[in-house]
Structure 1
Amino acid sequence: MSTEQDPEQRTIRCLVAKVGLDGHDRGAHVIARAFRDAGFEVIYSGLHKAPDEIVQAAVQEDVDVLGISILSGAHNTLVPKIMEGLEEYGALDDTLVIVGGIVPEEDRPELRESGVAEIFGPGASMQETIDFIRENAPRR
């Protein structure tokens, strides 16, 4: 499948965010570059962001997609805080939230219940992630 963007379609804006004390950002950089190469507009949060900082960035940048990269094991604490913050700002309904990283299968249902659309673990292809965003990003 081609990664070229349909010229009739508005550019999808993505925030790739690293939450908490997780300092492993190679995957976030790789996915950010893949999103850019797919024609998405990409904003990278940088390391060690608090949930409220990520919410503020997502709202201020008016992103269509929030990709949370987390490898620290704190996903059950940090991701719900982000989801609650997006809901407080009324941004949850028009922001596609995806999570990438190490999330055990038994933790995934709770994250999905909080509003996370999809969770991409090790071995997920970049094309799978890009296709998911193209198919599910809010149309504005």
Structure 2
Amino acid sequence: MNRPIRVLVAKCGLDGHDRGAKIIATSLRDAGMEVIYTGLRQTPEMIVNTALQEDVDAIGVSILSGAHMTVFPKIMNLMKEKHLDDVLLTGGGIIPEEDMKQLNDIGVGKLFPPGTTTTDIVEYITNWTKANRDF
């Protein structure tokens, strides 16, 4: 790789709990990735536009509000509209297993429940990027 992996870490909607997102952002940075953190209360449009402007390899959405079945499909649709077909959309939070499967079926990458190690997340993003991005 000629440059660090670039990851956008985002919080969408009215969910005001960002401690987990900040921990993930720090872990990704400590693993040598370049991390852009959007802060709280972002819309799907704001997230996708930032991803496009920052030329990221992956978007990680932290969601604890229960809006995952609305937020992830909206972000996926916007990514397709903006031709971000080679960017990973992943995330984590309070997402039931059945919903994770449905989201994976529409193209969302692996989703991480509470208790996942930061090492697992770093490895997943690193391996996905090496297999799917060309830089």
TM bucket (normalised to shorter chain) is over 0.9
Letter in 1 for 2:47: I
Q: How does 1:1-140 map to 2 (within 5 A)?
A: 9-91=2-84, 93-137=85-129, 138-140=133-135
CA distance in structure 1 between the aligned counterparts of 2:106 and 2:37, rounded to whole angstroms: 23
Q: Which has the higher contact order (CA 8 A, sep 6+)?
A: 2
Where does structure 1 lack aligned partners over 5 or more consecutive residues? 1-7
Unaligned 5+ residue runs, structure 2? none
Q: What number of residue pairs does the alignment pair up? A: 132
CA distance in 1, matches of 2:2, 2:90: 21
Look up the SS of the partner of 1:100 in the other structure.
Answer: strand
SS of 2:71's partner is: helix
- Whichever residue aligns with residue 101 of structure 2, its letter is P
Which digits, 9 at most, give the CA deviation of each residue in 1:98-125, with x for residues without a partner?
1111100111122112211100001110
Structure number with higher helix proportion: 2
Q: SS at the partner of 2:36?
A: strand
Whole-angstrom distance in 1 between the partners of 2:122 and 2:2: 15
Aligned to 1:3: none
Could you say what secondary structure the match of 1:124 adopts? Answer: coil
SS of 1:31 mapped into structure 2? helix
SS in 1 for 2:80: helix
Q: Percent identity?
A: 52
Deviation at 1:132, TM superposition (A): 0.6
For residues 60 and 27 of structure 1, what CA distance do their matches in structure 2 show? 24
Amino acid at match of 1:52: E
Deviations 1:26-78 (A, max 9, x none): 00000000000000000001100011110100111110010010000000011
Q: Return the alpha-carbon distance in structure 1 between the equivalents of residues 52 and 38 of structure 2.
A: 13
**d(CA) in 1 for partners of 2:11 and 2:70?**
14
